[in-house]
Amino acid sequence: MIPDQTPADEYREIAGRFGELVDAVPAAAWDRPSPVPEWTARDVVRHLVEWFPSFLAGGAGVTLPQGPSVDDDPSAAWHTMSKGVQSLLDDPAAADTMLSNRHIGDVPLPQAVSRFFTADVFMHTWDLARATGQDETLDPERCAMMLEGMTPLDEALRSSGQYGPKVPVPDDADVQTRMLAFIGRDPR
């Protein structure tokens, strides 16, 4: 998280950008392949809309609103779920709520959202932009912070099955390219 930025503000910024990309996807582009093997642009949105609600429900007893299915309306599915996440983060009571998970222990809910979901939305922003031919530029400061935070966890991240093998890139590659390569994306 950028210093002096709350989890609510961070999510508003990152999810807002992702939502703009979602809204700009032409109907015919939803089935284009994404940089994630075997996923389409629609599957990128599906992943975000489907995994996080159960994570919140199981760890904090929080139920997010459900919209239409991603198959029927990816934009409405994203926006319905995302507005629920934003409302949760904007609620001052969220600061007193803990998320419990056997892998991460007990984490204050706003920090859990930031660390696991907002970060995931940020990384998948590139996937959706690349799949649909939109601007795939990511915030370099955030890329650097994420890369710095993930690098010491390399072995744990790879063994989770959530990240592909690192992609080799030149030593002088920009920070976005290095971050993408670290998470297993081929930025070329």
Render pLDDT for 17-75 as a digit per residue (tens, 0 to 9): 999 999 999 999 999 999 998 999 999 999 999 999 999 999 999 999 999 999 999 99
Identify the residue with better confidence: 184 or 10.
Answer: 10
Give the mean pLDDT of 147-173.
Answer: 82
The pTM for the full model equals 0.92
The predicted pLDDT at position 125 comes to 97
The model's pLDDT over 26-36, given as tens digits with 9 standing for 90+, comes to 999 999 999 99
CA nearest 186: which of 134, 33, 159, 177? Answer: 177
Residue 93 neighbours by CB under 8 Å, 6+ apart: none
Closest residue by Cα to residue 163 from 37, 4, 17: 37
163: nearest Cα among 149, 177, 181, 145: 181
Cα separation, 66 vs 116, whole angstroms: 20
User: In the chain, what are the domains?
Assistant: 7-137 (1.20.120.450), 138-188 (no CATH)
User: For the chain, what is the mean pLDDT?
Assistant: 92
Q: Residue 154 above 80 pLDDT?
A: no
Query: pLDDT-based confidence at 164, cuts 50/70/90?
Result: confident
Can you tell me the mean pLDDT for 5-17? 96
